[in-house]
Chain A
Amino acid sequence: MSILAIVAAVAASSAALAYLAVGDAKRRRVFGLPPLERKAWQTWLAIAGVLAPAVFLLYGGGGAGFVVWCGAVSVAGWALAATPPAQAAAMGRRVTGGMAAAGRILRTMIRAARGTEDTDDRLDRLERRVAALEAALAHHEPAAKPTAPRRRNGAGGKTEMPQPSGQ
């Protein structure tokens, strides 16, 4: 059993533990949070999600991975449970933000490697260009009427162009 498989199993179990912690009724009551409406099967599924990686490790390649998993999940479970909900939420936001940023960087890198850009990129570039032109126009004609706000329509990213400014 490779180290990577053990790490993945611990990560999967920790994610399921985090799910259980977030919805734990007593934890939410103690910290004055409204109860989360969860079905029993969802909780049981999460419990299965905690234990399934251990079964995989146990039958997949000897006892070492399983014992490491037991130890790691004990420590991870404690760390997850000991983090108060507000702090956990703040950490969650930071992690989500970090992952989103990492995703953006990754996308940019992939596009740079491919030497291509997608529709969103072109639209973003176009919008920036239009904004720059508007700013320049506003600079030259300070009395001009304000333009209608631009907005995107739907996922297709179709952009309404600004209306002529009343000349």
Chain B
Amino acid sequence: MKSLSQSQLKRLTAVHGWSGTVLGLLLYAVVATGTVAVFAHEIAEWSVGGAKNHAPLAGGLDGKIRPIAERMTKGYLEEIAVWATAKGDLNVFPHAHARNPDSGKIDNYGTLFRLDGTTGAELARNEGFVFTKPEWFEASALEDFLVDLHVQLYVPQPWGLILTGILGLSMMAAGVTGFLMHRHLIRDLFVAARPGHRLVTARDRHVLAASWGLLFAFLLGFTGSFFSFAGTVSLPLISQVAFGGDQKAMRETLFEPAVTPDPRPAALTDLDAVVARSTALAGAPVRFIVVDHYGRADARINLWHMPPQGSLAWVRNVFDGTDGRFLGVKPRVGRQPSAGSALYELIWPLHTGDFAGTLSKAVWVGLGTAMCYVILSGMQLWVRRREDTALWRGFGRAVTTTAYGLPFAMTAAAYGFFLSLPAADPFYWTPMGFVLGALACIAAGVFAGDGDRLAQRFRRLLGAACVVLPVVRMAMGGLGWADAVVQGQGAVLSFDLMFLVLGVLLFRWATRQPHGRAAGGPLPEPAE
């Protein structure tokens, strides 16, 4: 690698360090919540006590959807979306597109039916701009909250998305500047943190984790920014530049299959036969179905499948709605396969790890944890170099408080969810639990002990919260372990055990001797 001059290195260090310092805590919040959100679907299953039906889209759909469609007015039959909830219920949503007076944007307006995934019995029915009301279409307030926290830090649209987009860019910038700054990347690839508690030890920890995670730091930052900016900047820009501001025309051109309008009435083909054929073609289960123009001769059935074995991208099969003919695989963008579409298809799996089941998700959790470690160790290193200043020592406390406070607040959100389940609104109390947990940690950060003692107290607190959580879940009417085993609810058992193990490990960590430097210990020193 080309060696940099001292002044270039100094500038890069300033960019790397100050961008990390200014945005580091928020970046940690996004990455930590994202690490948890990798298992969002499983968290939803765990929180609602498991799915009654693990494959409600696999068959028997026709008899559930057709009666609903037959009694809807024509306007709502523009699209019928069908998907399963974490509980194993079915959401059936006949809808049209209309301008939402609150946001000024085109939104889906229609009637959302929640059906029992097995019997098809109607459980709930709501009408309006459905996707503005998570309690209508989400089974778990906890999943909804955690994903929202990751996607836009619970900041209203579009500012939350813009903020997380900027954070993604800063992650990429930190990766690039760190790469350029580190002159011995390969030579130091196996050098563990040197013994002791010197500055160079902190530097070793940060550099080692960053070196191994460099590729994925860049990848996760890029893909995250892409999603954040797609809805807020890129697509509105494309709509203005290429479609004269007509968002509907843009959506149809980019994301819908080509159809010659034919409003003549025609019966929809057997939906179950189409689902079976599409599943056989894709080699993976259906996750989402949209029937366009139900009851018309130009009806189309779109089926989204999980990535087939060995593949990264989701598959979208399109069938003729009247005779059930397979019309082909629709590229993610446009109507013909293209390099752009292929790249677009990779963004989602590369960002979420949702392409090879639990294995890929577990690896992505590992990567997210490594990223969290890089961010926190970087900020700690920055503080260590300046800890003779009271202001930076205060920032160090803020780093410790955020490092432990955020996971604790997320656990508190889970408490809010479970405790409100029997008698209150989980969609209100889940975020409220997070806020209360965060406030408790901030108070502890301000008033309790010094750096090392503070960290130990946080570990105990978090450990206790983890150990008690499964008990609270079951006490609030959640599924017991024996029933979970009998019903094959792996998510319920796995998450409970994970919390117990995590709690015990945190307790063990907390009982170790604090490794603070003794009075008169070595002062801050250059890392090189």
Given contacts A61-B310, A62-B311, contact A81 B360 (CB under 8 A): no
B367 touches A75 (CB 8 A): yes
In contact, A26 and B311 (Cβ under 8 angstroms): no
C-alpha spacing A20/B215, complex, angstroms = 20
Given the interface pairs A26-B191, A67-B350, the reply to whether A77 lies near B356 with Cβ below 8 Å is no
Asked if B356 and A71 sit within 8 Å, CB to CB, the answer is no
Interface residues contributed by chain A, number (CB under 8 Å): 32
Report the minimum CB–CB distance from B435 to chain A (whole Å): 32
| A residues in contact with B310, CB < 8 Å | 1, 61-65
**A30 contacts the other chain (CB 8 A):** yes
Cβ B195 vs Cβ A77 within 8 A? no
Instruction: A82 to B193: give the CA distance in the assembly, Å.
Output: 7
- List of B residues within 8 angstroms of A31 by Cβ: 192, 194-195
B188 contacts A by Cβ under 8 Å: yes
- Closest residue on chain A to residue B200 by CB atoms: A30
Q: How far is the CA of A120 from the CA of B370 in the complex (A)?
A: 49
On whether the beta carbons of B212 and A64 are closer than 8 Å, the reply is no
Interface residues of A in 76-92 (CB under 8 A from B): 77-78, 80-85
Chain A positions 97-122 with a Cβ under 8 Å from a chain B Cβ: none
Interface string of A49-74 (1 = CB under 8 A from B): 00000000000011111011011101
Within B186-226, which residues are at the interface with A (CB < 8 Å)?
187-195, 205, 208-209, 212-213, 215-216
Q: Decide yes or no whether A24 CB sits under 8 A from chain B.
A: yes
B355 on interface, CB distance cutoff 8 Å:
yes
- Would you call A21 an interface residue if the criterion is a C-beta within 8 Å of the partner chain's C-beta atoms? yes
Closest to A67 in B: B312
B residues near A27, Cβ cutoff 8 Å:
190-192
Tell me the nearest residue of chain B to A61, going by C-beta. B310
Bound-state Cα–Cα, A7 to B358, Å: 12
Considering the complex, which residues of chain B in the window 252-269 have a beta carbon less than 8 Å from any beta carbon of chain A? Answer: none
A74 touches B312 (CB 8 A): no
Asked if B353 and A64 sit within 8 Å, CB to CB, the answer is no
The interface residues of chain A lying within 8 Å CB-to-CB of B209 are: 78, 82
Given contacts A68-B363, A71-B216, A74-B370, contact A82 B356 (CB under 8 A): no
Whether, in the assembled complex, A3 has its beta carbon less than 8 Å from a beta carbon of chain B, the answer is yes
Known: A64-B355, A81-B190, A82-B209. A75 touches B366 (CB 8 A): yes
- Contact B350 A6, beta carbon cutoff 8 Å: no
> Residue of A at shortest CB range from B311?
A62
Asked whether any CB of chain A lies closer than 8 Å to the CB of B359, the reply is yes
A21 near B190: Cβ-Cβ < 8 Å: yes
**B353 proximity list for chain A (CB < 8 A):** 71
Q: Is the CB of A74 within 8 A of B359?
A: no
Find out whether the CB atom of A63 lies under 8 angstroms from the CB atom of B216.
Answer: no
Q: Does B234 contact A (CB under 8 A)?
A: no
When the two chains form their complex, are residues A3 and B191 in contact, meaning their CB atoms are under 8 A apart? no
* CB-based contact B366/A83 at 8 Å: no
- What is the distance, in angstroms, from B358's C-beta to the closest C-beta of chain A? 9
Residues of A close to B366: CB separation below 8 A? 71-72, 75
Are B212 and A77 in contact, CB atoms less than 8 angstroms apart? yes
B38 to chain A, nearest CB (A): 11
| Contact status of A74 and B212, CB under 8 A, knowing A27-B191, A62-B310, A81-B191 | yes
B195 contact set on A, CB distance < 8 A: 31, 84
Given contacts A81-B191, A81-B192, list 17 more A-B pairs with CB under 8 A: A3-B356, A24-B191, A27-B192, A30-B191, A31-B194, A62-B309, A64-B310, A64-B360, A65-B310, A67-B349, A71-B353, A74-B216, A75-B369, A78-B212, A81-B189, A81-B190, A81-B208
Instruction: Enumerate 13 A-B pairs (CB-CB under 8 Å) in ascending A order.
Output: A30-B191, A62-B312, A65-B310, A65-B356, A67-B350, A68-B360, A68-B363, A77-B212, A80-B190, A81-B190, A81-B208, A82-B192, A84-B192
- Please give the residue numbers on chain A whose beta carbons come within 8 Å of chain B beta carbons, in ascending order: 1-3, 6-7, 20-21, 24, 26-27, 30-31, 61-65, 67-68, 70-72, 74-75, 77-78, 80-85
